[in-house]
Chains A and B, each alone.
Chain A
């Protein structure tokens, strides 16, 4: 269970990007966060694992107050939060296996990490997970030799290697073509069920959000203005979330091709 209350983030002296958010994500549900660019989606996600330092408010994960942590305590907490990125954020020049094992870095003794002497159970787990998402035969390939969809699968496996208690996904499909992005969304939903993981996804594509997630949170100007089942997201709600944003940028898949790569 992730519990966020009164979260505020402000950069410098400007207007706050997040203006007192409250959000709860119970176990095993897939929640998507939608909103126009600049609504604060990405900042919200990065506040959870403290890649971005919140200005005030509290974030609690399964009873652990994340906002109080520092140093080693913070690193130990980050191990429990898996994150998936829009541009995959793999280390291109390392093999797929090394990228996958880098999800275990928070647990490994330093000498094992440096010498690439991974424990047997980690290697087995890596092969099982890679087999699950269909990339096991790439273990020895360099990450930059893979296609976009395959690279995102490596990113997913890296996050799962952490044995996380929650998965954060920041625009995980924005750099992928339509078919691949549906596969990745499908995979995230399935993994959420298999591992009983809550998954919080920032997404541009409203059609995908409706199809693959259990709950939709709509943000505008740093506030949550919509929070309900996908079915409840009607045109009126959409207009409120995306007021002033042209239709194709909302990514309504029915008849418009979204400009994914461009408007990311």
Chain B
């Protein structure tokens, strides 16, 4: 307890320095917003018109037209296949990548940097950009979509798996090295069992994400439901577009339920 001559009549939550700091941050934020608002290339009349335009568009979607539902559902299955195959292949490829990108298992500095390079380049390029590239290479279709999703997934899975490898308990590894086991057997017995839970969790999580990503591949020509959505929109067939959107919503929600269930079962 500090004794005081007089009881203070003012109370402030922050010291003047803290207040200054907060004020400066606030000023920077406001300046950024003002800069963005005033310099963005937007026709403001359209902005004020936007609610009506959007309302109009939604109005044209009702009621959804289900005449093409069977073929939509069929392409939806194809979309699931893209996500599943791409995830399955990416999981296998990301195993060695994670191994060389983890500091405690990588053979040497060169492999460590190679691993990190693969992870960074895969992770920072979005699936859609990968898809643009692979459509240019393989031509429009599912194959470009699968390869694009695969390329993006390797970085995601590899990074999380590599971090799991870096966090393992070192002690069983030491014990198995002491028995005279070779490097490969130490990995199989002391490292693999420890990262298995993360492995499954990451694979399921990525499958869930890939399901979402595979719905848009078609917009750049890489297969899946996006293709149908694009053609419905291009022909102003908004009622069919609504059906496609609803089926995508159902697919994604279903995928989330399945992956939550799998997570609970396996881990």
A and B found bound together? yes
Please report the C-alpha to C-alpha distance between residue A51 and residue B194 in the assembled complex, in whole angstroms.
21
Interface status of A78 (Cβ within 8 A of chain B): yes
Q: Nearest chain-A residue to B172 (Cβ)? A: A91
In chain B between 185 and 244, which residues have their CB closer than 8 angstroms to a CB of chain A?
185-186, 188-190, 193-194, 196-197
Please report the C-alpha to C-alpha distance between residue A87 and residue B175 in the assembled complex, in whole angstroms.
10
Given contacts A51-B177, A91-B189, A91-B194, whether A110 and B182 have CB atoms under 8 Å apart is yes
Q: Nearest chain-B residue to A48 (Cβ)? A: B178
Interface status of A209 (Cβ within 8 A of chain B): no
What are the 9 tightest A-B residue pairs by CB atom distance, in nearest-first order? A106-B180, A105-B181, A78-B180, A89-B175, A79-B180, A89-B171, A75-B180, A93-B193, A83-B178
A171 to chain B, nearest CB (A): 13
Please report the C-alpha to C-alpha distance between residue A218 and residue B65 in the assembled complex, in whole angstroms.
88
B182 cross-chain contacts in A, Cβ below 8 A: 75, 105-106, 110
Please report the C-alpha to C-alpha distance between residue A102 and residue B192 in the assembled complex, in whole angstroms.
14
Interface status of B75 (Cβ within 8 A of chain A): no
A79 to chain B, nearest CB (A): 4
Partner among A76, A82, A89 whose Cβ is within 8 Å of the Cβ of B172: A89
B189 touching A98, Cβ below 8 Å: yes
A105 touching B176, Cβ below 8 Å: yes
New A-B contacts (20) at CB < 8 Å, excluding given A93-B197, A106-B182, A113-B189: A51-B174, A51-B177, A78-B179, A79-B179, A85-B171, A85-B175, A87-B171, A90-B172, A94-B189, A98-B189, A102-B189, A104-B179, A105-B180, A105-B182, A105-B185, A105-B189, A110-B182, A113-B185, A113-B188, A162-B180
Please report the C-alpha to C-alpha distance between residue A81 and residue B171 in the assembled complex, in whole angstroms.
17
Q: Nearest chain-A residue to B182 (Cβ)? A: A75
Q: Can you sample 25 A-B contacts with CB below 8 Å?
A: A51-B178, A78-B177, A82-B179, A83-B175, A85-B174, A87-B171, A89-B171, A89-B172, A91-B189, A92-B169, A92-B193, A93-B197, A94-B189, A98-B189, A102-B179, A103-B179, A105-B176, A105-B180, A106-B182, A110-B184, A114-B188, A158-B175, A159-B179, A162-B179, A162-B180
Please report the C-alpha to C-alpha distance between residue A38 and residue B174 in the assembled complex, in whole angstroms.
20
B194 cross-chain contacts in A, Cβ below 8 A: 91-93
Please report the C-alpha to C-alpha distance between residue A202 and residue B197 in the assembled complex, in whole angstroms.
35
A81 touching B178, Cβ below 8 Å: yes
Interface status of A173 (Cβ within 8 A of chain B): no
Q: How large is the interface on A (under 10, 10 to 19, 20 to 34, 35 or more residues)?
A: 20 to 34
Please report the C-alpha to C-alpha distance between residue A65 and residue B174 in the assembled complex, in whole angstroms.
22
Q: Nearest chain-B residue to A106 (Cβ)? A: B180
Q: Nearest chain-B residue to A164 (Cβ)? A: B179
Binary contact readout A64-83 vs B (1 if CB under 8 angstroms, 0 otherwise): 00000000001111111111
B82 to chain A, nearest CB (A): 32
A256 to chain B, nearest CB (A): 29
Interface status of A49 (Cβ within 8 A of chain B): yes
Please report the C-alpha to C-alpha distance between residue A75 and residue B186 in the assembled complex, in whole angstroms.
12
Given contacts A93-B196, A110-B184, whether A158 and B179 have CB atoms under 8 Å apart is yes
Please report the C-alpha to C-alpha distance between residue A102 and residue B182 in the assembled complex, in whole angstroms.
11
A81 cross-chain contacts in B, Cβ below 8 A: 178
Given contacts A89-B171, A89-B172, whether A49 and B178 have CB atoms under 8 Å apart is yes
A87 cross-chain contacts in B, Cβ below 8 A: 171
In chain A between 154 and 174, which residues have their CB closer than 8 angstroms to a CB of chain B?
155, 158-159, 162
Q: Nearest chain-B residue to A49 (Cβ)? A: B178
Q: Nearest chain-A residue to B170 (Cβ)? A: A89
Please report the C-alpha to C-alpha distance between residue A102 and residue B174 in the assembled complex, in whole angstroms.
12
B180 touching A102, Cβ below 8 Å: no
Please report the C-alpha to C-alpha distance between residue A98 and residue B188 in the assembled complex, in whole angstroms.
11
A94 cross-chain contacts in B, Cβ below 8 A: 189, 193
Q: Nearest chain-A residue to B175 (Cβ)? A: A89
B182 to chain A, nearest CB (A): 6
A102 touching B178, Cβ below 8 Å: no
B217 to chain A, nearest CB (A): 37
A82 cross-chain contacts in B, Cβ below 8 A: 179
